[in-house]
Amino acid sequence: MDLSFSGFIEQMTSSPVLFIAILLTIGVIFVNGWTDAPNAIATCVVTRCMGAKPAIIMSAIFNFLGVFVMSMVNSTVAMTIKNMVNFQGNNEDALTALCAAMAAIVIWAVTAWYFGIPTSESHALIAGLSGAAIALQGGLSGINFSEWIKVIYGLVLSTALGFGFGYLVCKLITFLFRNKDRRNTDGFFTWAQIAGGAAMSFMHGAQDGQKFMGVLLLGVYLSNGMDTTAGVELPVWMMMLCSIIMGLGTSVGGKKIIKSVGMDMVKLEKYQGFSADVAATVCLLISTLFGIPVSTTHTKTTAIMGVSAVKRLSSINLNVVKDMVLTWILTFPGCGIIGFLMAKLLMAIS
């Protein structure tokens, strides 16, 4: 199959359903940059280690590198998402479900962004696809529950490990620098935070970038009668496109999420921001290497909570945390219902 940019454009313009699926997927990548990618750079921006604009440019570059490098190391995250539903070889149904899921993510994420709440596009994708599969298959037969267990693993990893690593890393940093004058360490932690933000952006690309590039590629394959992208390398132009669109999304709406994660939930110092970045990066790296889809939003926010808990739990704004957790819980039924309804709508008009 021709995966060149010109071949991609030709296929997209020759198939109306594929055209819609690709437009919606690009819209989701933009929204991911708008609502999810800002988590990666939130700490280094709010602690004034970097300005918002250079942080966004840095984030776009390292998102690209994350997709590029980790796709060569382990590309199973993208296929794990697809394997959660089963359309029994019916590629037309699968493409319809893809469109419904993408629409569900956009609707859900933009609504949450309006209230300044970071969402997990990974979980929204899983829920939207599952809702669409139920609509198209007329029941739960379209859900592969053996694959869904990986979501549970990911949920545990992104919350328990995020919080635990955040606490432990911050404890270690506090111990190592206990006899240092805080003013003398500001320079070190400024550069350490920038490096931490770059590492987080890299892992965001490795997780979320890889997922949605996999979805984009899957749409092309489904329209050509194939139901798997296993063993296929993502084209470099597609990785660059993903990074640019994500960066644009972050530049348009990222400040609201940066404020919510890095300022409203807790008040961070530079060493705390660095600790949260290190903890979240390690957690995401472990998950990616084992092919487990996790939420970068959950991982980063719980790492920040763990860091704050080193001083005292009361330093965490529990009202903000409550809103975030409620949104995370509602993502599965909310996006599932939207995906179900969108699939029904697409079937009715097709």
Q: How many helices (H) and strands (E) does the chain have?
A: 15, 0
What pTM was estimated for this model as a whole?
Answer: 0.75
Q: Which tokens is 93 given? A: 């149904």
Q: What is the DSSP string of 282-321?
A: HHHHHHHHTT----HHHHHHHHHHHHHHTT-GGGS-HHHH
E strands in 109-205: none
Q: What is the pLDDT of residue 338?
A: 92
Please report, to the nearest 10 degrees, the dihedral formed by the alpha carbons of residues 167, 171, 172, 173 taken in order.
Answer: 100
Q: What is the pLDDT of residue 222?
A: 77
Nearest to 297 by CA among 348, 268, 345, 331: 331
Nearest to 276 by CA among 328, 199, 186: 199
Structural domain boundaries enclosing 117: 5-349
Q: What is the pLDDT along the chain (350 residues), one digit of tens a residue?
A: 677 888 888 888 888 888 888 888 888 888 877 776 677 787 888 888 888 788 888 888 887 787 777 666 555 555 556 566 666 667 777 788 888 888 888 888 888 777 767 677 777 888 888 888 888 777 777 777 777 777 777 777 778 888 999 999 999 999 988 888 777 788 888 899 899 889 888 888 777 777 777 777 778 877 777 766 556 667 778 878 877 887 777 777 666 666 666 556 667 788 888 998 899 888 888 877 776 767 777 788 888 888 888 877 666 777 777 777 787 788 888 888 999 999 888 888 76
| CA 308/CA 293 separation, integer angstroms | 26
In the DSSP assignment, the letter for residue 139 is S
Total of domains in the chain = 1
Single-letter amino acid code for the residue at 162: G
From the number of C-beta atoms within 10 Å of its C-beta (0-12, 13-18, 19+), residue 214 rates as buried
Q: What is the pLDDT of residue 327?
A: 76
Residues 334, 130 contacting (CB under 8 angstroms)? no
From the number of C-beta atoms within 10 Å of its C-beta (0-12, 13-18, 19+), residue 176 rates as exposed
Residues 321, 113 contacting (CB under 8 angstroms)? no
| CA 129/CA 88 separation, integer angstroms | 15
Q: What is the pLDDT of residue 309?
A: 86
**CB-CB neighbours of 94 under 10 Å:** 25
- Output the 3-class SS for 44-104: HHHCCCCCHHHHHHHHHHHHHHHHHHHHHHCCHHHHHHHCCECCCCCHHHHHHHHHHHHHH
From the number of C-beta atoms within 10 Å of its C-beta (0-12, 13-18, 19+), residue 337 rates as middle
Instruction: Calculate ∠ Cα 66-230-221, nearest 5°.
Output: 100
Single-letter amino acid code for the residue at 220: V
| CA 127/CA 144 separation, integer angstroms | 13
Q: Which residues pair with 143 in a beta bridge?
A: 85
Residues 150, 294 contacting (CB under 8 angstroms)? no
